[in-house]
A and B are shown apart, each in its own frame.
Chain A
Amino acid sequence: MSLQATAAADPKTLAAPAARREPSRAAVIFAAFARRKIALAALIVLLVIVFACLLAPWIAPYDPSAGEVTDRLQKLGAPGHLLGTDEQGRDILSRVLYGGRLSLLSGVLPVLLASILGGGLGVAAGYFGGWTNTIIMRALDIVFSFPAILLAIGISAALGPGITNIIISATVVFIPPIARIAESAVKEVRKEEFIEAARSSGASAVLIIRAHILRNIFAKVFVFATSLIGVCLMVASGLSFLGLGVSPPTPEWGFMLNNLKQLIFINPAVTIVPGAFIFLTSLSLNLVSDALSDALELKR
Chain B
Amino acid sequence: MASFVWKRILLMIPTLLGVSIVVFLMLKIVPGDPVNAIVPPDASESERALVRAQLGLDKPMAVQYVYWLGNVVQGDLGDSVARRLPVTDMLLPAFKNTLLLTAAAALASFIVALIVGVYSAYRPKSKLASLFNGLSLASIGLPNFWAALILIGVFSVTLGWLPSSGMSKVGGGGFGDTIDHLILPAAATALASVGVLTRMVRSTVSGVLQQDYIFALKAKGVRPFTILRHVLRGGHADDPECDRSPVRRAAGELRTRGDGVLLAGRGAGHLSGDRAARLPPSYRPACCSSPSPSSC
Which chain A residues have a beta carbon within 8 Å of chain B's beta carbons? Answer: 38, 133, 137-139, 141-150, 152, 154-155, 157-158, 160, 173, 177, 180-181, 183-184, 187, 220, 223-224, 227-228, 230-231, 234-235, 237-238, 241, 257, 261, 264-265, 268-269, 271-272, 275-276, 278-279, 282-287, 289-290, 293, 298-299
A-B pairs with the 8 shortest C-beta distances? A275-B146, A148-B258, A282-B141, A268-B153, A142-B18, A283-B141, A184-B283, A227-B251
Beta-carbon contact of A275 and B153 below 8 Å: no
Q: Return the contact of B281 from the options A145, A148, A183, A237 (Cβ within 8 A).
A: A183
Footprint of A on B, CB under 8 Å?
14-15, 18-19, 22, 26, 29-31, 134, 137-138, 140-143, 145-146, 149-150, 152-154, 157-158, 164, 244-248, 250-251, 253-255, 257-260, 262, 266, 277, 279, 281-283
The interface residues of chain B lying within 8 Å CB-to-CB of A139 are: 18
- B146 near A268 with CB under 8 A, answer no
Establish whether residues B251 and A224, one from each chain, have CB atoms under 8 Å apart when the complex forms: yes
Contact check: which of B15, B138, B150, B247 meets A223 at CB < 8 Å?
B247
| Residue on B nearest A136 in the bound complex, by CB | B281
How near does chain A come to B25, taking the closest CB pair, in angstroms?
9
Identify 8 residue pairs between A and B in the complex whose beta-carbon atoms are under 8 Å apart, listed by A's number. Answer: A142-B18, A173-B258, A231-B254, A234-B143, A234-B258, A276-B146, A286-B141, A293-B248
What CA separation (Å) do A285 and B137 show in the bound complex? 10
In this complex, the member of A143, A152, A234 whose beta carbon has the largest number of chain B beta carbons within 10 angstroms is A234
With A286-B141, A299-B244 in contact, is A142–B250 under 8 Å at CB? no
Instruction: From the candidates B18, B19, B149, name the one contacting A257 in the complex (CB within 8 A).
Output: B149
Chain A residues, CB < 8 A from B140 = 230, 282, 286
**Min distance, Cβ A186 to any Cβ of chain B, angstroms:** 11
Give Cα distance in the complex from A299 to B259, angstroms.
25
Residues of B within 8 Å of A137, CB to CB, are 281
A162 → chain B closest CB, angstroms: 13
Chain A, Cβ-Cβ closest to B158: A268
- In whole angstroms, how far apart are the Cα atoms of A234 and B144 in the complex? 9
